[in-house]
Amino acid sequence: MPESKPVMSRAFKVGVWRSYMEIHQRVLAEIARALDERHRLSVSEFDTLVNIPLDGVRLKVLGERTVLTQSAVSRMCDRLARRGLVTRTPVAEDQRGALVRLTDEGRTLLREAVRTNAEVVEENFTSHLSDDDLVALNAVLGRLAPESGDEQCDTPQ
C-alpha cells in the first residue's frame, strides 16, 4: 500500500509565507540602507535605473517594468534627470511619450549600486543557504513566477 503524503496545516503554510515576508522585509531594509548610504539612492530609484536598458526605454514601457505607477515613474525620471542620471527625450510621433536613457554618470552609479545590491543580498540572504538550497529555491520560485524565471537567475555557476 503506497504511503500518502502528510497534509500540511493551513497554519504551517501561513507560517512559511510569513517567514518569507519577514526575510524579504529584512533584506530589503538592508538594501535600502546600503543604497542610501553608499549612493544616495532609494530602492525605487534603483529599481527605475536598473530597468533602463543601455539603448533607452520608452517612459510607458519603463512604467510596466517597475513597481511604480505611470505617473510616479514620470516624476521619478524627472528627479533622476535633475540629478544628471538620466535624460528624457520627447518622442516625435507621440506627444506624451518620452525616451529615457541613462547618462554616463547614471551608468557609473548604476554599476556601483548593482554591486552594492549583490553584496547585501549575498551577506544577508544567500550566504545562509547551501548551493542545493539555492537551486531548490530557484526551482520553487520559478514555478510561482514562470514568466520571470529566465530573466531573474543565471546558471548556478
The burial class, CB within 10 Å (0-12 / 13-18 / 19+), for 35 is: buried
What is the mean pLDDT of the segment spanning 107-112?
98
Does the pLDDT value for residue 116 go beyond 90?
A: yes
pLDDT at site 85: 98
Amino acid 92: pLDDT? 77
pLDDT greater than 80 at residue 156: no
Q: What does the block give as the cell for 12?
A: 504551517
Cell, residue 101: 536613457
Q: Is residue 121 within 8 Å of 27, Cβ to Cβ?
A: yes
Q: Which residues contact 66 (CB under 8 A, 6 or more apart)?
A: 44, 47, 48, 51, 73
Question: Smallest Cα–Cα separation from 101: which of 88, 116, 84, 118?
Answer: 88
Closest CA to 43 of 76, 74, 19, 69: 76
Neighbours of 142 (CB within 10 A): 15
- pLDDT tier at 147, thresholds 50, 70, 90: confident
As a whole number, the mean pLDDT across the chain is 90
In this predicted structure, the answer to whether residue 152 has a pLDDT above a threshold of 60 is: no
